[in-house]
């Protein structure tokens, strides 16, 4: 016997299935959806109309052709009525973006920021989010939620922040203070998703990237530190304790350089903005900015070239280890340090190939992140879309 609750859940599941089909292959008609899903044409008609009314789908223009008869009306995700808000708390910046269901950027706002106190950071972030939210409302768009990428670890359930190693905050509770700061700016009743920034970067490529739904996907976020995210079976793989993807703290050399985590020889001690800067000026000088490193790299400063290429060689070693342990379809390289370009990336590719060995069977594709410095915020927005689709199949409140 099918209850009303069962029917409601089934209806939501079918709606999500249609959204996913059109997300992966835009332009399908109602008849195409019926064939692909196995649902009846009448059921498809009702579901599609509801999704159109709710802002998820729209009918696309029919391309003229010389054939006789009426062509089926193509459908697509509606890029004009719904929006996703994403933000990243970077080690030295704040970034907020708004995008549509197709991952097309609507607007973005970034500012350099020195994180001294948690509340000051959250107030500044709330102000940026509220400003963008008001703009979306003026444009007639409805926000589905807010995603926040943070430079720290979160438990396996995505609820409790366990550590923020690069932010010297004593209080790790961000959800309630941020919701309060948003409410003071009249931003209320929007779902809030908080996730690790490298996991967010992985989602940006999986949900919106050039090769959508290619998995396993590994994302390496290289900045002041080094983090990673893994997408497996259509979701972020968090591991037993929520710490999966901490590639920056895998050991590449016993008794190697001291890492910020207190151990020696971690990948982050070789592959990061901090590591490159230490290689140029030593550990007792301030960390060089990406702009300074890039400028000196263009001038062929031998110390900078050597430090960047060394980081690239170790990055190739790390990727070879990732290939052997996970066998991903794609590794995406992102984060601020990737702005240094070929001296880092080309060296890493060459190192990966050199370390492949005689019997290497991996066909892993290595590419750079297409979203640049917006990757973390875009991925946080992608997490909102992921959550919205998940909630569609949850039981009614």
pLDDT beyond 60 at 3: no
Whether residues 218 and 289 fall in one domain: yes
Q: Is the pLDDT of residue 52 over 80?
A: yes
Domain identity same for 228 and 348: yes
* Class of residue 348 by CB neighbours under 10 A (exposed 0-12, middle 13-18, buried 19+): buried
Q: Quick: pLDDT tens for 163-183.
A: 777 787 767 888 999 999 999
User: Is 311 in contact with 297 (CB distance < 8 Å)?
Assistant: no
Q: Above 60 in pLDDT, residue 107?
A: yes
* Residues whose CB is less than 8 angstroms from the CB of residue 199 and which lie 6 or more positions away in sequence, other chains included: 149, 219, 229, 236, 238, 245, 379
pLDDT value at position 390?
Answer: 75
Q: How many CB atoms lie within 10 A of CB 41?
A: 12
| 350 and 227 within one domain | yes
Domain boundary, last residue among 33, 49, 77: 77
Same domain, 41 and 96: no
Domain membership flag for residue 226: yes
Q: Read off the tokens for 231.
A: 């997408």
Residue 385 near residue 101, CB atoms below 8 Å:
yes
Does residue 206 fall inside a structural domain? Answer: no
CATH number of the CATH domain containing 115: 3.30.420.40
- Strand partners for 330: 217, 365
Are 187 and 261 members of one domain? no
Which of 62, 77, 92 lies at the terminal end of a domain, its last residue? 77
Nearest one of 79, 118, 373 to 223, comparing CA atoms: 373
- Give yes or no: residues 248 and 350 share one domain: yes
Q: Are strands 161-163 and 57-59 parallel, antiparallel or unpaired?
A: unpaired
Domain for residue 92, yes or no? yes
Is residue 316 scored above 70 in pLDDT? Answer: yes
Q: Is 138 helix (H, G, I), strand (E, B) or coil?
A: helix
Does residue 208 belong to any structural domain of this protein?
no
Structural tokens at position 45: 């008609």
Domain boundary among 77, 101, 133: 77
Is residue 385 over pLDDT 70?
A: yes
Which CATH number belongs to the domain containing residue 54 in this structure?
1.10.10.10
111 and 70, same structural domain? no
Residues 260-310: pLDDT tens digits?
Answer: 888 999 999 999 999 999 999 998 899 999 999 999 999 999 999 999 999
Helix axes 4-24 and 41-53, enclosed angle (nearest 10) = 80
Contact of 11 with 38, CB cutoff 8 Å: no
Tell whether 350 and 281 lie within a shared domain.
yes
- Is the pLDDT assigned to residue 252 strictly greater than 70? yes
pLDDT number for residue 325: 93
With respect to residue 205, please indicate whether it lies within any of the assigned structural domains. Answer: no
Burial letters 5-34, b for 16+ CB under 10 A, else e? eeeebebbebbbbbbebbbeeeebbbebbb
Whether residue 86 is found in the same domain as residue 47: no
Q: Please tell me whether residues 88 and 187 are part of one structural domain.
A: yes
Q: What is the mean pLDDT of residues 48-52?
A: 95
For the chain, what is the domain count? 3
Angle at 390 between CA 175 and CA 37, to 5 degrees: 165
In a domain, 299, yes or no: yes
Strands 226-232 and 235-236 turn out to be antiparallel
One domain for residues 259 and 320: yes
**Residues 156, 178: Cα–Cα separation, whole Å:** 21
Looking at residue 71, its pLDDT comes to: 78
With cut-offs at 50, 70 and 90, classify the pLDDT of residue 212.
low
Q: What angle, rounded to 10 degrees, do the helices at 290-298 and 273-281 form?
A: 60
Residues 303 and 252 in one domain: yes
111-157 pLDDT per residue, tens: 999 888 899 999 999 999 999 999 999 999 999 999 999 988 887 66
Residue pair 346/281 in contact by the 8 Å Cβ criterion: no
Average pLDDT over residues 57-63: 84
In a domain, 154, yes or no: yes
Domain, as residue range, for 106: 82-200+376-392
Instruction: Determine how many CB atoms are found less than 10 A away from the CB of residue 142.
Output: 12
Q: Lowest mean pLDDT: which of 13-22, 126-135, 158-167?
A: 158-167
Structural domain contains residue 304: yes
Backbone dihedral angles phi then psi of residue 90, each to the nearest 5 degrees = -80, 170
For the whole model, what pTM was predicted? 0.85
Q: Strand locations in 63-104, DSSP E?
A: 75-77, 82-89, 93-99
């Amino acid at each position: 016997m099918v209850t009303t609750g069962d029917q409601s859940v089934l209806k939501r599941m079918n709606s999500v299935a249609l959204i996913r089909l059109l997300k992966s292959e835009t332009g399908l008609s109602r008849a195409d959806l019926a064939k692909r899903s196995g649902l009846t044409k009448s059921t498809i008609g009702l579901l599609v109309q509801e999704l159109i009314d709710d802002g998820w789908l729209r009918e696309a223009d029919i391309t003229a052709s010389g054939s006789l008869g009426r062509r089926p009306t193509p459908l697509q995700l509606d890029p004009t009525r719904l929006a996703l808000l994403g933000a990243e708390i970077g080690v030295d910046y704040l970034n907020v973006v708004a995008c549509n269901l197709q991952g097309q950027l609507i607007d973005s706002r970034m500012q350099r920021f020195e994180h001294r106190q948690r509340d000051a950071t959250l107030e500044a972030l709330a102000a940026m989010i509220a400003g963008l939210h008001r703009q979306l409302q003026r444009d007639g768009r409805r926000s589905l939620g807010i995603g926040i990428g943070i430079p720290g670890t979160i438990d396996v359930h995505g609820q409790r922040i366990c550590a923020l190693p690069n932010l010297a905050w004593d209080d790790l509770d961000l959800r309630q203070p941020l919701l309060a700061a948003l409410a003071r700016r009249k931003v209320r009743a929007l779902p809030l998703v908080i996730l690790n920034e490298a996991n967010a970067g992985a989602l940006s490529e999986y949900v919106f990237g050039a090769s959508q739904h290619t998995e396993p996907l590994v994302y390496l976020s290289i900045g002041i530190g080094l983090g990673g995210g893994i997408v497996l079976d259509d979701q972020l793989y968090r591991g037993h304790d929520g710490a999966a993807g901490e590639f920056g703290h895998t050991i590449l050399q016993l008794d190697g350089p001291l890492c910020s985590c207190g151990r020696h020889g971690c990948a982050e001690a070789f592959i990061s903005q901090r590591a490159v800067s230490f290689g140029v000026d030593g550990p007792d000088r301030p960390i060089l900015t990406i702009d300074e490193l890039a400028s000196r790299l263009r001038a062929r400063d031998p110390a900078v070239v050597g430090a960047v290429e060394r980081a690239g060689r170790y990055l190739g070693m790390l990727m070879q280890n990732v290939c052997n342990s996970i066998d991903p379809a794609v590794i995406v390289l992102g984060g601020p340090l990737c702005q240094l370009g070929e001296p880092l990336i080309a060296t890493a590719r060459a190192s990966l190939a050199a370390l492949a060995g005689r019997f290497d069977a991996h066909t892993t594709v290595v590419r750079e992140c297409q979203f640049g410095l917006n990757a973390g915020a875009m991925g946080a927005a992608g997490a909102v879309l992921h959550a919205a689709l998940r909630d569609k199949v949850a039981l009614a409140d």
